[in-house]
Amino acid sequence: MTDYRETLRGSYRNSVVAAYFGQLLEMVLELNHAEPEIFALLQRGLAYLKEEGGSRKAVLHFEKEVARLLGLGDGAERGILNAYGKLPASREHCLDLFN
């Protein structure tokens, strides 16, 4: 059974954070290359949004875990920037939601 996580659409914040998670992964992953650990991270992230809701902490933790799984070290933002030259443009709006 496919879980479309319909409840995430009930909150603008959750929708924006979920979209950012997807955009970040789209940016750092190779097309058509299976990454089971990253997929599991995305599943956990979306489940967290469903249960707890989006937060600045959730965004930063997700980035940290992506960086760790990609072997970029603990400095998530810096590590991703160094390796990929950017973060998704939506990051700033995503974090601004929690100021």
Q: Which of 16, 8, 94, 98 minimizes the C-alpha distance to 51?
A: 8
At 25, the pLDDT band (50, 70, 90 cuts) reads very high
Please give the pLDDT value at position 51.
Answer: 92
Burial track 37-58 (b if 16+ CB lie within 10 A, e otherwise)? ebeebbeebbebbbeeebbeeb
Structural element, H or E, at residue 62: helix 56-69
Q: What is the pLDDT of residues 31-77, one digit of tens each?
A: 888 899 999 999 999 999 999 999 999 999 999 999 999 998 767 78
